[in-house]
Amino acid sequence: MALGVGSGVRVIFGPEPPPHGGAAPKGGAAFLGSSRCDPGPQPQVTEFPSNGAPSQAIGSGPMQDVFDLAPKVELHLHLEGAIPLDTLWQIIESHGGDASVPTREALGRRFEFRDFPHFIDTWWWMTGFLRSEDDFTQIAEAVARYLAEQNIAYAEVSFSPTDFERHGLTPQQLATAIRRGLDRVPDTKVVLNVDLVRDSGPQRGSATLESVLEIAVEADVRGINIGGSEHDHPPEQFAAVYRRAAEAGLRLTAHAGEAAGPASVWGAIRKLGVERIGHGVRSVEDPSLVEYLVQHQVPLEVCPTSNIRTGVASGWDDHPVHQLIEAGVNVTISSDDPSFFNCSLASEFRTLSAYGSKSMEQLTMAAIEAAWATEAERRELVEMVRAWWEEN
């Protein structure tokens, strides 16, 4: 596993503006990822263009900070939602363009959401331009480079085959094309999860699963997920699909406790047998569920900026991630759809650090433990992260 993360780099400090998407937190930033809140020097923030992901790699400029430079692990990332906007713009133009986005800047403004259903509508619009195997190889390579340039050493990336049946693309074709692009970037380890998209229903989910199983080993597909309109399609509908996936040796996660409340999380745990929960932030609405999550240390894949952009949370100050961490829930941090939400894993850690609580190193170690990595991969990741923080 090639994990190209630098070490021994001097960290540059400077003033920090209020976090994007919320009011300025109290107490200053955590110094170099420590678990205490330190009112001293705060890390330089990489500037993002408005209304879209960076056109260049996050942290690729000269003013990098500890959040850019530290090795990271990301467990909740959608391939289609992580396409760098320059790459997406090229693909849209290659298919004749779209009158609603006449410029690259207009494309960035397209990713402004009123609520979660509006986000889903925009997702469906965007995926309409991903029409060929070559498109998927191109975006997979671009996403892998984006991850490597952020010093993300290991990522679990979901793709959604049912969204592309309208273009005549099979799950096998998609997985093969995506793997081809990912393998062009040896500086990060990317494994795949298949999102069965709950809006498509359990029958199509079952058919998609069977197709993916034919290519799972070759494409390094390690798990399944169900994203989409959680509020309209409860997890219980997919119980048989999840049983089949488990029997086939795939790992299990599900979006729950995002657009729907605690009942969705309970359903994913009790009926789907998930090992992790995607988002899970609305678990705070049920103290008994929080107690269960703490007792069983079920990992949550929390994506704070995503929740703010889709209206699940009103801002950073009152985001449930703080309550979950304080309660002792096993929280990991991810960016979800960074091109849609104008964020990165580095920016998530940078903003969260300003509230104290767990350090970036602790949260990264939690992600490594929760990852569907092989034991050899896990050992290498632990050694890499531990060595970097000892040196920096």
When pLDDT is averaged across residues 147-171 and rounded to a whole number, the result is 95
Centroid of chain to Cα 75? 6
383 is catalytic: no
When pLDDT is averaged across residues 352-359 and rounded to a whole number, the result is 90
Say which range, 222-226, 243-247, 311-315, has the weakest mean pLDDT: 311-315
Q: What is the pLDDT of residue 31?
A: 22
Q: What is the pLDDT of residue 315?
A: 96
**Between vectors from CA 106 to CA 91 and to CA 121, what angle results, nearest 5°?**
75
Q: What is the pLDDT of residue 22?
A: 34
Q: What is the pLDDT of residue 294?
A: 98
* CB contact set of 387 (below 8 Å; sequence gap of 6+): 7
Q: What is the pLDDT of residue 117?
A: 83
pLDDT at 361 over 90: yes
Domain membership flag for residue 16: no
Backbone angles phi, psi at 313, to 5 degrees: -125, 150
> What is the rounded distance in angstroms from the CA atom of residue 61 to the CA atom of residue 75?
25
Which residue in 73, 77, 221 sits closest to 150, CA to CA? 73
- Could you give the percent of the chain with pLDDT greater than 70? 84
Q: What is the pLDDT of residue 322?
A: 97
Query: Which residue range is the domain that position 279 belongs to?
Result: 33-391
Q: What is the pLDDT of residue 114?
A: 79
The two tokens of residue 327 are 């309660």
When pLDDT is averaged across residues 134-153 and rounded to a whole number, the result is 97
What is the separation, in whole angstroms, between the first and last Cα of the chain?
A: 23
* Cβ atoms 16, 24 nearer than 8 A: no
Q: What is the pLDDT of residue 107?
A: 87
> What is the rounded distance in angstroms from the CA atom of residue 224 to the CA atom of residue 242?
8
When pLDDT is averaged across residues 372-376 and rounded to a whole number, the result is 98
SS3 153: strand
Which residue in 135, 143, 190, 182 sits closest to 163, CA to CA? 135
Domain membership flag for residue 199: yes
When pLDDT is averaged across residues 332-345 and rounded to a whole number, the result is 94
> What is the rounded distance in angstroms from the CA atom of residue 272 to the CA atom of residue 242?
6
- The enclosing domain of 346 has a CATH number of 3.20.20.140
Question: What is the tens place of the pLDDT at every residue in 45-100?
Answer: 333 333 333 333 333 445 789 999 999 999 999 999 999 999 999 999 999 998 98
> What is the rounded distance in angstroms from the CA atom of residue 226 to the CA atom of residue 242?
10
Q: Which helix (H) or strand (E) holds 158?
A: strand 152-159
Q: Is 122 exposed, middle or buried (0-12, 13-18, 19+ CB in 10 A)?
A: middle
Q: What is the pLDDT of residue 176?
A: 97
Q: What is the pLDDT of residue 118?
A: 85
* Cβ atoms 69, 149 nearer than 8 A: no
Which residue in 91, 18, 24, 170 sits closest to 339, CA to CA? 91
DSSP state of 63: -
The H-assigned helical ranges of 132-200 are 133-149, 171-182
Domain membership flag for residue 12: no
Q: What is the pLDDT of residue 269?
A: 98
CA distances from 81 to 27, 115, 143 (A): 33, 16, 10
Q: What is the pLDDT of residue 116?
A: 76
More confident residue, 196 or 356: 196
When pLDDT is averaged across residues 299-316 and rounded to a whole number, the result is 95
Quote the strand ranges of 23-140, DSSP E.
72-78
Domain membership flag for residue 19: no
Q: What is the pLDDT of residue 29?
A: 26
**pLDDT class of 390 with cuts at 50, 70, 90:** very high
The two tokens of residue 330 are 């096993």
Backbone angles phi, psi at 279, to 5 degrees: 80, -95
When pLDDT is averaged across residues 198-221 and rounded to a whole number, the result is 96
When pLDDT is averaged across residues 343-364 and rounded to a whole number, the result is 94
Number of domains, the chain = 1
The two tokens of residue 292 are 């269960």
> What is the rounded distance in angstroms from the CA atom of residue 346 to the CA atom of residue 67?
5
> What is the rounded distance in angstroms from the CA atom of residue 177 to the CA atom of residue 132?
9
Domain membership flag for residue 169: yes
Alpha-carbon torsion angle 337, 312, 75, 149, nearest 10: 40
Indicate which residue of 156, 258, 301, 348 is catalytic: 258
SS3 269: helix
pLDDT at 30 over 60: no
> What is the rounded distance in angstroms from the CA atom of residue 220 to the CA atom of residue 178?
10
Domain membership flag for residue 54: yes
More confident residue, 389 or 26: 389
Mean pLDDT over all residues of the chain?
85
> What is the rounded distance in angstroms from the CA atom of residue 103 to the CA atom of residue 95?
14
Q: What is the pLDDT of residue 124?
A: 86
Q: What is the pLDDT of residue 123?
A: 84
Domain membership flag for residue 122: yes
**Between vectors from CA 270 to CA 269 and to CA 271, what angle results, nearest 5°?**
100
Pairing between β-strand 189-195 and β-strand 221-225 as defined by DSSP bridges: parallel
Domain membership flag for residue 195: yes
SS3 74: strand
**Between vectors from CA 159 to CA 145 and to CA 377, what angle results, nearest 5°?**
60
**pLDDT class of 112 with cuts at 50, 70, 90:** confident
